[in-house]
Amino acid sequence: MDSFSFTFLIWCLLAFNHILPLTIQTIEARIPESPLQCNQTFCILHNSYGKWGDRKDCYALNATYPTTEQELHVAVSFAVEHNLKAKVVTKFSHTIPKLACPDQAVQNSFVISTESYNRQIQIDVANSVVTVDAGVGLRQLIDAVEASGFSLVASPYWEGVTIGGLISTGAHGSSWWGKGGSVHDHVVGLSIIVPASKAEGYAKILRLEAHDPLFNAAKVSLGVLGAISKVTLRVEPRFKRSITYNFTSDVGLEDLYVDHANKYEFADITWYPSQHTAVYRYDSRVPLNTSGNAVFDFIGFQNNPTSISEAVRATESLLEKTRNTHGKCLTAAATLAFKKATANGLKNNGILFTGYPVIGYQSKMQTSGSCLYSQSLLTSCAWDPRIKGLSFYESTAIFPASIFRDFILDVKKLRDLNPEHFCGVDNYNGILIRYIKGSDAYLGQSEDSIVIDFNYYRAKDALTPRLNQDIWEELEQMAFFKYGAKPHWAKNRIIAFLGVDKKYQNYNKFIEAKQQLDPQNVFSSNWSDEILFGKELEKSDGCALEGLCICSEHRHCSPQNNYYCSQGLVYKDARVCRYSKSTLPSSL
Ligand SMILES: Cc1cc2nc3c(=O)[nH]c(=O)nc-3n(C[C@H](O)[C@H](O)[C@H](O)COP(=O)(O)OP(=O)(O)OC[C@H]3O[C@@H](n4cnc5c(N)ncnc54)[C@H](O)[C@@H]3O)c2cc1C
Ligand SMILES: *[C@@H]1O[C@H](CO)[C@@H](O)[C@H](O)[C@H]1NC(C)=O
Ligand SMILES: *[C@@H]1O[C@H](CO)[C@@H](O)[C@H](O)[C@H]1NC(C)=O
Ligand SMILES: *[C@@H]1O[C@H](CO)[C@@H](O)[C@H](O)[C@H]1NC(C)=O
Ligand SMILES: *[C@@H]1O[C@H](CO)[C@@H](O)[C@H](O)[C@H]1NC(C)=O
Ligand SMILES: *[C@@H]1O[C@H](CO)[C@@H](O)[C@H](O)[C@H]1NC(C)=O
């Protein structure tokens, strides 16, 4: 196929993708499957991608589904009394690392699902706060708050999460204004049910507020302190937002990112290095009487015809197999052009993009996820594990704002060596740059920070190397080890957590709180320990391919496929798996 027809095909796929969902009639829904599947013998827990970092399933012997705080209390008591290892599991399970996996010893493991614990949303109008059951979904909360004349200021961009789950991993949107983009910094109180002595009935409820030293531990707790029952969040009078995307050159990005966040309350930047393009989001609060009733239905979270998701995946896999970097760049360019034409999914009237600025209520502009509500078996989220759709890794690194400039310059150096090598990330969402403010949470960010996300192809098989994977590995190691960036707790491959215990100045205070609240480690497992303690794992053949290790020998890559452990191109200390057709790279 020549490059024009190829580009045209991708355009058609994407355009079709955009229009078709409106025309499909209800048959039977393909809403996301429950991540927790139990039968009489045991339960299996998956994340939303249906595949954990190491591709191994995790199990529990038994599950319980409390509906009230009282029942949640009973569930924790039950686990403690019977010496079980417990984890709280949500309806969504959208965290990529195995934080919610109970212990490997299945016979002692118990999961407490908050799937049905989502009844109470109490809005205190006088004090502008809302208190919710921890299993309440983000969309459910946003709609309830707006119906009472308030807005939730910060939230992640994706709405398929629960309040308990999202604060536990430090989830965020983007802002340096006010309390900033992290949801946990808008939390003013929470209740957590922790193990207790027999005399106390094996579990007790702690009601924590700002003045309590344990509060800073409990705001971002990875689920290892106990079961959060209630969360109280600050809300503000209902407001609207006005959004304009500026698709422009990436020249000067390193000098603009600070001003950009200072100028626009909900600023972000999407950087497509291979396309030399930066997309600045000019996004500000506007008065409630400004006209506009738009919806931000972010393109990546739309309800896609499964046939399209499968075709896009098949195309990507073919380009991988044929080592067609140029083909990846054609799709990256087509994807970017399509995003520009559709404003990333902004819809002025709720249906179509007709021009900037796009103005709408906060409840419709911050967070989305229309694929969660598929009305048909023919549509789903693009990554739904039941279809042959997208499968990707997701690296998310958090930098102190001041050092981010040097990181951008390093990435530009790497890009300039061969811009085409970056097309693989630009086929997803490039490098998404967001802002969060300094926080008191022990496992939050102690200073104003920048968060970057980038996604890249994950093969069907763990031992299949991927086109230009050395570039993603260098980017990953540069972020986490050269610049000491912190990994987002809910994303990343396991190597991103190496040495994480040295990166938080209040890390020890968190560990002390954990020992105080859960001395028997009821809520910890091998899996969550692996993440929280950032230990290096034993290396095995091919381990670097999945980000389970950093290679130090060729066998950690895939010598049989000509991928050898090699030095980074810009960050020389990086050790990455690089394709080399003829010559074995000289020793490291
Ligand atoms: C498509 C997609 C888009 C995303 N977008 C963003 C984004 O824009 N910004 C961002 O920051 N993140 C984002 N994330 C990550 C997401 O916000 C986090 O993974 C979030 O933690 C998921 O919430 P959940 O309810 O699914 O929790 P789970 O993944 O089920 O649980 C997370 C952790 O919290 C614990 N936990 C859950 N509930 C409780 C409770 N009641 N008490 C104690 N512990 C509990 C669990 O045991 C587990 O350790 C995204 C993820 C996906 C898949
Ligand atoms: C439970 O499910 C597992 C795997 O899905 C299966 O092997 C097992 O036989 C099932 N047990 C029962 C009682 O259905
Ligand atoms: C499963 O958990 C419930 C508590 O929710 C308990 O009553 C029941 O005995 C447990 N079953 C097994 C087999 O452990
Ligand atoms: C878009 O950004 C560029 C570079 O910062 C700037 O020169 C241009 O004026 C911006 N366009 C708009 C419409 O703001
Ligand atoms: C919005 O309300 C303010 C007063 O609250 C008023 O001054 C302004 O003219 C109104 N704007 C519009 C577009 O109605
Ligand atoms: C998991 O933890 C248990 C103790 O809870 C330990 O006995 C076991 O060896 C660990 N397994 C692995 C694979 O680390």
Domain spans, the chain: 240-497
492 lines ligand 1 (CB under 6 A): no
For 462-510, write each residue's pLDDT tens digit: 999 999 999 999 999 999 999 999 999 999 999 999 999 999 999 999 9
Task: Please give the distance, rounded to the nearest whole angstrom, from the Cα atom of residue 99 to the centre of ligand 3.
Answer: 23
Ligand 3: residues whose CB is within 6 Å? 62, 64, 78
Kind and range of the H or E run holding 44: strand 43-45
- Residue of 179, 194, 180, 191 lying closest to 232 (CA atoms): 191
Confidence band of 20 (pLDDT split at 50, 70, 90): very low
Query: Given a cut of 90, is residue 277 above it in pLDDT?
Result: yes
Residue whose Cα lies nearest atom 50 of ligand 1: it is 158
For 119-148, write each residue's pLDDT tens digit: 999 999 999 999 999 999 999 999 999 999
Contacts of 219 by beta carbon, 8 Å cutoff, 6+ apart: 167, 184, 185, 187, 190, 439, 440, 441, 444
| Weakest mean pLDDT among 209-213, 375-379, 412-416, 584-588 | 584-588
Mean pLDDT of the chain: 94
What is the model's pLDDT at position 23?
A: 45
What is the model's pLDDT at position 584?
A: 64
Structure tokens at 450: 């920048």
| Residues 510 and 430 sit within 8 Å (Cβ to Cβ) | no
What is the model's pLDDT at position 10?
A: 57
Query: Given a cut of 50, is residue 5 above it in pLDDT?
Result: no
Which ligand 4 atom minimizes the distance to the CA of 256?
5
What is the model's pLDDT at position 234?
A: 98
Say what percent of the chain tops pLDDT 90.
91
- Residue of 168, 169, 6, 37 lying closest to 111 (CA atoms): 37
90 lines ligand 1 (CB under 6 A): yes
For 325-367, write each residue's pLDDT tens digit: 999 999 999 999 999 999 999 999 999 999 999 999 999 999 9
If 0-12 CB within 10 Å is exposed, 13-18 middle and 19+ buried, where does residue 140 land?
middle
Measured at the CA of 579, the angle between CA 574 and CA 584, to 5 degrees, comes to 90
Structure tokens at 553: 């020998």
285 lines ligand 1 (CB under 6 A): no
- The residue among 4 and 122 whose pLDDT is bigger is 122
Say what percent of the chain tops pLDDT 70.
94
Kind and range of the H or E run holding 469: helix 469-477
Ligand 4: residues whose CB is within 6 Å? 246, 248, 280
| Residues 172 and 451 sit within 8 Å (Cβ to Cβ) | yes
Task: Please give the distance, rounded to the nearest whole angstrom, from the Cα atom of residue 223 to the centre of ligand 6.
Answer: 19
| Residues 365 and 243 sit within 8 Å (Cβ to Cβ) | yes
What is the model's pLDDT at position 171?
A: 98
Q: What is the CATH number of domain 240-497?
A: 3.40.462.10
Task: Please give the distance, rounded to the nearest whole angstrom, from the Cα atom of residue 279 to the centre of ligand 4.
Answer: 10
| Residues 184 and 444 sit within 8 Å (Cβ to Cβ) | yes
Residue whose Cα lies nearest atom 53 of ligand 1: it is 94
Cis amide linkage into residue 357, ω under 30° from 0: yes
Pocket-testing residue among 83, 521, 526, ligand 6, by greatest number of atoms within 8 A of Cβ: 526
Mean pLDDT of 238-252: 98
Task: Please give the distance, rounded to the nearest whole angstrom, from the Cα atom of residue 58 to the centre of ligand 2.
Answer: 14
Ligand 2: residues whose CB is within 6 Å? 39-41
What is the model's pLDDT at position 292?
A: 97
| Residues 275 and 429 sit within 8 Å (Cβ to Cβ) | no
103 lines ligand 6 (CB under 6 A): yes
Task: Please give the distance, rounded to the nearest whole angstrom, from the Cα atom of residue 385 to the centre of ligand 6.
Answer: 29
Backbone angles phi, psi at 301, to 5 degrees: -110, 10
Which ligand 5 atom minimizes the distance to the CA of 290?
13
Residue whose Cα lies nearest atom 4 of ligand 5: it is 289
For 83-125, write each residue's pLDDT tens digit: 999 999 999 999 999 999 998 788 899 999 999 999 999 999 9
What is the model's pLDDT at position 73?
A: 98
530 lines ligand 6 (CB under 6 A): no
Find the ligand nearest to 61 CA.
3
Residue whose Cα lies nearest atom 14 of ligand 3: it is 62
pTM: 0.95
What is the model's pLDDT at position 22?
A: 45
Find the ligand nearest to 278 CA.
4
What is the model's pLDDT at position 31?
A: 85
